[in-house]
Structure 1
Amino acid sequence: MTMYTVDVYSGSSDDIIRDPHAEGVIVKATQGMTYVNPKCNHQWDLAGSLGKKRGLYHYAGGGNPVSEAQFFINNIKNYVGQGILILDWEAYQNSAWGNANWARQFVDEVHRLTNVWPIIYVQESVLWQVANCANDCGVWVAKYASMTWYSWTLPQMNVSAGAFKVLTGWQYTGGDMDRSIWYLDEAGWDRLANPNGTKAKIKVPAPATQPAPKPQGEAAWTDSIGDTWHSESGTFTSNTAINLRWGAKTNSSVIGTLPAGSVVRYDAWSLHNGFVWVRQPRANGQYGYLATGEASNGKRTSYWGAFK
């Protein structure tokens, strides 16, 4: 048996949820440790009113995986047992991309809190990054024939499940909408959502420590990966091209390369791993991070621009 689904986020039209081909709807719930989809409850309720199977996903931000799992479950605890749970593992806005242990820690914490193993969404080419979850979790693989495959018809192509051996789901379009086929029936969906068949007993954790906002009244704080940040509002004007990243590490995903003369407003700075970093507030509670020069022994040793 198979089922067809769509997945949605805050920018998705309700028409996608109403599409008669979709037997299930998977809703973005949270991202990182600060973002909650403002339309999550509406999209969840609409899908339920249409009699569709449902799921909820967390988009990995690359912070502390245990804290992100707790943030996810704290925000969807009333829905646990009613829909499948999913970890969305992608490169964009994920500072832990390439870390083959991050997903394992996340799914272990979700299971500890809910007794449910989440499905892992990942592109086929990086299945290796989540391979150590294969004994417990299902896998939902993204692989498209093209970005203009605007059809519910499956393209003829091979899709690997890697260490997972079998596909739980396959997302095969991502242009006009995200369409997927799942290799299970409605009863199988329900078993993934609620393996014990009983009302979920959630061990609600204490609110996770947020790495982004500084504590009120404090000039400095330590984030979830041990780096010390100092509150300071100002601007930095670069004198060379510099990468703006989703994390304050040189291996964090790049948002974009800023040309010389770029002006970046920042609200905090940190000296770690040989660089001077500043933090740029962005939309939806997100932050960008910019290396502004080199540091040694806790002191700035070079500047790649000017501060105001």
Structure 2
Amino acid sequence: MAMYTVDVYSGSSDSIIRDPHADGVIVKATQGTGYVNPRCNHQWDLAGSLGKKRGLYHYAGGGNPVAEAQFFISNIKNYVGKGILILDWESYENSAWGNTNWARQFVDEVHRLTGVWPLIYVQESALWQVANCANSCGAWVAKYASMTWGSWTLPGMNVSSGAFKFLTGWQFTGGDMDRSIFYLDAASWDKLANPEGTKTPDLPAAKPNPAPTPIKPAPSATNWVDSLGDRWVEEHGTFTTNQRINLRWGARVSSSLIGTLPAGAVVKYDAYSRHGDYVWLRQPRSNGQFGYLVCRNAYTDEPYGSFK
């Protein structure tokens, strides 16, 4: 027996949830300790109204894993026991990527709070990073035949489960929508969501950590548009990173890398720009050159450090 699912986030169309091929819907709930999906309740309720099995996932930000687990559970505690819980372990915006102990600490805290072992979503090539969770958690592995595989037909390919005894789920597309197959029937899904010993977490409702006031231009600030069409605002200050951040020769994630700054690095900057997914800082360097780094998420304003 198998079930097909979709997973959604704040930018997903309701039509993905309504897709008749999907037996289940997995909803992004939180990220880090500063973001809550504003459409989580709506997406959860819509899936339930359509009779679909449900799940909730937390996207790892790479901060304190215990704090992230508490933030996740605090925000979805009324749904514990009603849907499967999942840790989304990816490299993007995850400062702990490569840390083989982070996921273990996260899932242990979720289990302590709820009695539920979450599944772990991870790309096949990174299964080694979460191998020490294999004795407790199931694996939901991402591996695509291509990014244009817009079909519910499974591609003919092998997928490793790494240290896990078997695959619980396989995400086989990531283009027009994320399609997955879970090797579960409805009763098995419910058992993962609500195993014996599940408990209601005794945690206060959480709110995103307050962020420093977003950088905004002063009325008299000098500003300009660069050759890429991005507007910059002159502002002189100091930024201290709270995680690893790439320093680049341009204000694009595709720009050449100068190096990777560790947590605690201090950067003097002279301008900022909000474009794409981030707020960028410009670092003056020798010989009239500049380095560029991200300082916060442009959508949630979650900072990646502190400002002076």
TM-score by length of 2: 0.75
**What is the match of residue 272 of structure 2?**
264
Gap change, CA 1:156 and 1:113, over 3 Å in 2: same
**Helix, strand or coil for the counterpart of 2:171?**
strand
**What is the match of residue 10 of structure 1?**
10
**What is the match of residue 123 of structure 1?**
123
Gaps of 5+ in 1: 215-232, 238-243, 269-276, 291-306
1:150 pairs with 2:150: yes
**What is the match of residue 202 of structure 1?**
201
Gap change, CA 1:59 and 1:280, over 3 Å in 2: closer
Q: 1:29-76: CA deviations, max 9, x gaps?
A: 000101000000000000000000000000000110000000000000
Q: Is the 8 A contact 1:234 1:267 kept in 2?
A: no
Counting only pairs closer than 5 Å after superposition, residues 212-291 of structure 1 correspond to structure 2 as: 212-213=211-212, 235-236=235-236, 248-249=243-244, 256=253, 257=255, 263-264=271-272, 279-280=295-296, 282-288=298-304
Q: Is the 8 A contact 1:5 1:182 kept in 2?
A: yes
Matched to 1:204, the amino acid is: L
- Deviation at residue 284 of structure 1 after TM alignment: 1.1
In the alignment of these two chains, the number of paired residues is 259
User: How far apart in 1 are the matches of 2:4 and 2:280?
Assistant: 45
Q: Is the 8 A contact 2:234 2:270 kept in 1?
A: no
User: How far apart in 1 are the matches of 2:303 and 2:54?
Assistant: 30
**What is the match of residue 162 of structure 1?**
162
- Deviation at residue 210 of structure 1 after TM alignment: 3.7
Q: Is the 8 A contact 1:191 1:197 kept in 2?
A: no
User: How far apart in 1 are the matches of 2:257 and 2:128?
Assistant: 34
Q: Is the 8 A contact 1:246 1:255 kept in 2?
A: no
> What is the RMSD of the two structures over their aligned residues, measured on CA atoms?
3.6
Q: 1:75-101: CA deviations, max 9, x gaps?
A: 000000000000000000111111110
**Helix, strand or coil for the counterpart of 1:86?**
strand
User: How far apart in 1 are the matches of 2:10 and 2:141?
Assistant: 22
- Deviation at residue 165 of structure 1 after TM alignment: 2.1
Q: Is the 8 A contact 2:124 2:143 kept in 1?
A: yes
**What is the match of residue 59 of structure 1?**
59
User: How far apart in 1 are the matches of 2:244 and 2:187?
Assistant: 44
Q: Is the 8 A contact 2:115 2:197 kept in 1?
A: no
Gaps of 5+ in 2: 214-232, 259-268, 274-278, 282-292
User: How far apart in 1 are the matches of 2:92 and 2:184?
Assistant: 29
**Helix, strand or coil for the counterpart of 1:179?**
strand
1:191 pairs with 2:198: no
**What is the match of residue 299 of structure 1?**
none
Matched to 1:159, the amino acid is: V
User: How far apart in 2 are the matches of 1:11 and 1:191?
Assistant: 30
Matched to 2:158, the amino acid is: N
Q: Is the 8 A contact 2:104 2:133 kept in 1?
A: yes
Counting only pairs closer than 5 Å after superposition, residues 89-100 of structure 1 correspond to structure 2 as: 89-100=89-100
**Helix, strand or coil for the counterpart of 2:54?**
strand
Matched to 1:249, the amino acid is: R
- Deviation at residue 14 of structure 1 after TM alignment: 0.4
**Helix, strand or coil for the counterpart of 1:174?**
coil
Gap change, CA 1:68 and 1:177, over 3 Å in 2: same
Q: 1:238-288: CA deviations, max 9, x gaps?
A: xxxxxx9995325799972489998326899xxxxxxxx994463213235
- Deviation at residue 196 of structure 1 after TM alignment: 1.4
| Identical columns (%) | 69
- Deviation at residue 197 of structure 1 after TM alignment: 7.5
User: How far apart in 1 are the matches of 2:126 and 2:97?
Assistant: 10
Matched to 1:177, the amino acid is: M
User: How far apart in 2 are the matches of 1:74 and 1:28?
Assistant: 14
